[in-house]
């Protein structure tokens, strides 16, 4: 392991100044505080869109597979929806086990455009077009301060140089990815169908499906170069705790993965996934979100970085701008097995019409 890591883990030749650290720490605290300190204007006729924050595992490897986002238990009947989603995932992980070596140091920017619309009175259809950019870790300083601020493990970040890209995958002597310069390209396009099983004011249940197309490039880690199909169910329930209104969201399903180009001999064909979320409205136009999203193993090797079952935790908020526009802000952390990005910052802008 030492021979593999030596060219990739280098002791820093310069340290960050105290002034720079104060600026980074202040910026991070301001970002976190924005979830709780915004007091939006009143709008009695405004109803915030229901549903969880739309997140998924954005590990450099796992983001190329067809594990879907939870989008809510209410289908788009009588309206259409368009969203732009920017996700910035910062990665620093390395592991060598039983002939499989993975090293991820850098950032991935995923720009996703999603459209959905009512198909019939109880159905919807939609699609998502992602554009993926792998580049140097320009947010390394912020992530370092986040880990220090909350006492989280840094995974040897402190002995590695900042602001670089190095994504590398090798298994049994075969190199599947070697990215040291920025790469970008179209990701795997996804198509959706949704069916409303039942819906009322306090609860709803929907069945959903997703088909992922092989429009990306495995050598650039923008796609798996295989068709993936997922089916799942989503349920929402409104709860009242005295005068406080809360909502629970639960989802679960399975994905069938076609044979991709990353360590195909170890890839699983069936992957289970699930979601649990809590949404608490605060004021007329803000909903606080806390949720967990998980999936089973995707690539079954001794190396957990290549797709071991993972859990991500999300804290964030949904802000109603007008009756038709909203903004999601999310902070996403890897909670198990190092099979997800260290941290993901996400902003989604959406409209319905």
| Segment 21-67, tens digit of pLDDT | 444 444 445 445 544 444 443 333 334 468 999 999 999 999 999 99
Overall domain count for the chain: 1
In-domain check, residue 309:
yes
In-domain check, residue 16:
no
In-domain check, residue 36:
no
In-domain check, residue 209:
yes
What φ, ψ does residue 332 adopt, rounded to 5°?
-120, 130
Q: Which two tokens stand for residue 335?
A: 């909670």
Range of the domain at 161: 2-6+58-352
Name, in order, each residue with C-beta under 8 angstroms of 222's C-beta and a sequence gap of 6 or more. Answer: 64, 132, 183, 184, 185, 186, 187, 188, 216
In-domain check, residue 92:
yes
| Segment 73-84, tens digit of pLDDT | 999 988 999 999
In-domain check, residue 23:
no
- What average pLDDT score do residues 113-123 get? 93
Check the CA dihedral 274-278-317-196 and report its sign.
Answer: positive
| Segment 189-239, tens digit of pLDDT | 999 999 999 999 899 999 999 999 999 999 999 999 999 999 999 999 998
Coil, strand or helix at 140:
helix
Count of CB atoms situated within 10 Å of the CB of 272:
16
What is the pTM (predicted TM-score) of this model?
0.83
Burial annotation 313-343 (CB, 10 A radius, 16+ → b, else e): bbbbbbbbeeeeebebbbbbbbeeebbbbbb
Burial annotation 209-231 (CB, 10 A radius, 16+ → b, else e): ebebbbbbbbbbbbbbbbbbebe
Give 271 or 93, the one with higher predicted confidence: 271
Using a 10 angstrom Cβ sphere, with 0-12 exposed, 13-18 middle and 19 or more buried, the burial of residue 185 is middle
CATH number at residue 121: 2.40.160.40
Grade residue 159 by pLDDT with cuts at 50, 70 and 90: low
In-domain check, residue 20:
no
In-domain check, residue 252:
yes
């Amino acid at each position: 392991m030492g021979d593999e890591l030596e060219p990739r883990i280098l002791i820093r030749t310069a340290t960050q100044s105290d002034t720079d650290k104060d600026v980074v720490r202040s910026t991070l605290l301001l970002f976190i505080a924005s979830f709780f300190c915004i007091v939006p204007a009143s709008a009695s006729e405004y109803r915030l869109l229901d549903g969880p924050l739309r997140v998924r595992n954005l590990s450099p490897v796992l983001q190329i597979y067809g594990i879907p986002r939870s989008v809510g238990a209410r289908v788009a009947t009588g309206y259409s929806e368009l969203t732009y989603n920017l996700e910035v995932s910062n990665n620093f992980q390395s592991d060598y086990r039983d002939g499989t070596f993975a090293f991820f140091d850098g950032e991935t920017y995923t720009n996703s455009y999603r459209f959905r619309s009512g198909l019939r009175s109880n159905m919807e259809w939609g699609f998502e077009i992602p554009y993926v950019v792998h580049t140097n870790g320009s947010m390394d300083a912020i992530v370092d301060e986040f880990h220090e601020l909350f006492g989280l493990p840094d995974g040897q970040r402190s002995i590695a140089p900042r602001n670089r890209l190095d994504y590398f995958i090798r298994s049994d002597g075969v190199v599947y990815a070697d990215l040291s310069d920025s790469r970008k390209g179209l990701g795997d396009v996804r198509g959706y169908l949704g069916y409303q099983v039942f819906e009322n004011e306090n609860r709803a249940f929907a069945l959903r499906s997703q088909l992922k197309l092989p429009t990306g490039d495995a050598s650039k880690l923008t796609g798996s170069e295989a068709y993936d199909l997922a089916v799942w169910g989503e349920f929402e329930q409104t709860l009242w705790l005295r005068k406080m209104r809360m909502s629970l969201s639960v989802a679960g399903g399975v994905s069938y993965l076609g044979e991709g180009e990353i360590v195909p001999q170890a890839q699983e064909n069936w992957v289970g996934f699930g979601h649990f979320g809590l949404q608490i409205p605060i004021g007329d136009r803000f909903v606080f979100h806390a949720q967990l999203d998980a999936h089973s193993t995707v690539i079954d090797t001794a190396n957990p970085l290549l797709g071991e079952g993972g859990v991500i935790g999300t804290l964030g908020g949904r802000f109603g701008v007008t009756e038709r526009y909203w903004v999601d802000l999310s902070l996403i952390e890897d909670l198990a097995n190092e099979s997800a990005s260290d941290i993901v910052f996400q902003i989604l802008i959406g409209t319905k019409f």
